[in-house]
Amino acid sequence: MKQRTKNRSNLKTVEWKNNVVVMIDQTKLPNKLVFVKYKDYRDVAHAIKTLVIRGAPAIGVAGAFGLALAALQSKAKSKEKLIEDLEKARKILFETRPTAVNLSWGLDKIMKVANKLNNVSEMKKLIIQTAKKMAQEDIETNMKMGKYGSVLFSNNDTIMTHCNAGALATVGYGTALGVIRATKENGKKIRVIATETRPVMQGSRLTAFELKHDGIDVSLIPDTAVGYVMAKGLVNKVIVGADRILRTGHVYNKIGTYQVAMMAKQHKIPFYVAAPLSTFDLKSNPEEVIIEQRKSTEVTQIGDRKTAPDDISVINPAFDMTPPELISGIITEAGIAKQPFEESIKKLFQSRL
C-alpha cells in the first residue's frame, strides 16, 4: 500500500489502474486528500470495513475490483480452483458491510461472469474488464439519475441532504449529490444544507468538502438542527441516497435518515431518495434486513479525543429504515418511482428487461 497526495481536481473515488485499485482514503478527509493503492483483495476488504471507501455504489464497485485483484492473485490452474479462490475472496469482501446491497450485487455480477468461461486466463481478463465496465457504468447511471431527478428541483431551492451520497459515495458524480449537480448544471440556482451526520461525520467531512470543491453553495448543520431549519422555513426539499431499497419502497440509509424524513413530512417538505437499481433488494422483507452495528468508539471518541466517559454502553447502528409513506419519490437511472411504490418499482425493473 503506497500513499500519495494529489491536487483536488480529481475526485475519482475508486479506480483500476495497471492492475492496482486506487482509492481516495475518505477517513483522511477533509484535512488531506490522500490516494491509496491496493494489490491485495484483503486490503480492499479492510478498506471497506474501516470506511476508507464507503457509499453503497462505491463499495459495490470496490467489491468487484476486490474480486478482480483476487483473480490476479490466484495461482489456480483450473477453472474450479479459480472459482474456489474467488469464492473465498467474495466471502471476505461480503462480510465487511452486511446492509448495503450494492456490495453483494457487485460481487455476484463478477462471480456470474467468471462462471461463464472455462479458460483461467480468459476468466481473469473478463473479470477485470467487467469490473472496469461497472465503474464506468456507475458514472453513467448517476448522470441518468441526475437527468431524471433534476426536474423535481426548482430555481432558488434550498435542498437538505444527509450523509454523503455524492461523488465520494460512488465512482463519480454521485446519486443524491449527482441530482444536485445536474440541477445546477441545468442553470437552476440552488443552495444545499448538509447535516453533519454523526457519528462518522460524512456530511461535514465529505459532503461539505465535495460541494465546496465544486463551487456549490453549502451550509453545515449539526444533526440536532434539522427540526430548527425546517421549522424556520429554510429548507424546500430533501434528497438522500440509499444503501438498500425493498420492493415495498422501504429505504435503508445512513442512521438519522428516518428522522430527517419524518421531520420533512411534518413540515410538508418533499423527501426524495436517489439510488441506482443495483441498490434495490426485491426479495427481502423489512424484518429480514440486518442493520449493522458499528463499534462504540465511533461515538465515544473523535480521533484520539475522548468525548464520553470510559466503558459507557453505546448503541451505534449504521443505518435506519425510512418507511415508504415518508418518501415523495425514488429517483433511479430508469426513472422516478412514486407511491404506491410496489407497483411503481416493479414497472421500473420491467422497463429494463
Catalytic residues: 243
Taking each helix axis as running N to C, give the angle between helix 41-49 and helix 56-73, from 0 to 180 degrees, rounded to the nearest 10: 160
Task: Please tell me the distance from the alpha carbon of residue 315 to that of residue 293, in angstroms, as a whole number.
Answer: 8
Quickly count: other Cβ atoms within 10 Å of residue 40's Cβ: 16
Bridge partners, 5 (sequence order) = 34
In 147-242, DSSP assigns E strands to: 157-161, 190-195, 218-221, 237-240
Least Å distance, CB 2 to its own copies, is 25
Residue 187 CA, chain-centre distance (Å), reads: 26
In the bound state with its own copies, the residue whose beta carbon lies nearer, of 11 and 193, is 193
Least Å distance, CB 25 to its own copies, is 16
Q: DSSP secondary structure string, 218-256?
A: EEEE-GGGHHHHHHTT--SEEEE--SEEETT--EEEETT
In the bound state with its own copies, the residue whose beta carbon lies nearer, of 18 and 307, is 307
Cα–Cα distances (Å) from 57 to 26, 166, 270, 287, in that order, read: 15, 10, 24, 23
Cα–Cα distances (Å) from 312 to 182, 198, 250, 293, 319, in that order, read: 44, 17, 32, 16, 21
Least Å distance, CB 195 to its own copies, is 8
In the bound state with its own copies, the residue whose beta carbon lies nearer, of 21 and 194, is 194
Task: Please tell me the distance from the alpha carbon of residue 8 to that of residue 32, in angstroms, as a whole number.
Answer: 10
Least Å distance, CB 166 to its own copies, is 13
In the bound state with its own copies, the residue whose beta carbon lies nearer, of 126 and 261, is 261
Least Å distance, CB 158 to its own copies, is 11
Here the cell at position 78 is 483450473
In the bound state with its own copies, the residue whose beta carbon lies nearer, of 75 and 305, is 305
Question: 93 Cβ partners below 8 Å, 6+ apart?
Answer: 41, 44, 45, 48, 63, 66, 67, 103, 107
Task: Please tell me the distance from the alpha carbon of residue 279 to that of residue 276, in angstroms, as a whole number.
Answer: 6
In the bound state with its own copies, the residue whose beta carbon lies nearer, of 123 and 255, is 255
* Torsions phi, psi for 306 (to 5 deg): -75, 135
In the bound state with its own copies, the residue whose beta carbon lies nearer, of 1 and 308, is 308
* Torsions phi, psi for 335 (to 5 deg): 130, -170
Quickly count: other Cβ atoms within 10 Å of residue 308's Cβ: 12
**Which residues contact its own copies by CB under 8 A?**
30-31, 193, 196-199, 201, 204-205, 208-209, 212, 217-229, 231, 234, 254-256, 258-259, 262-263, 266, 291, 299-300, 302-303, 305-309, 312-317, 320-321
* DSSP SS3 for 307: coil
Here the cell at position 74 is 490466484
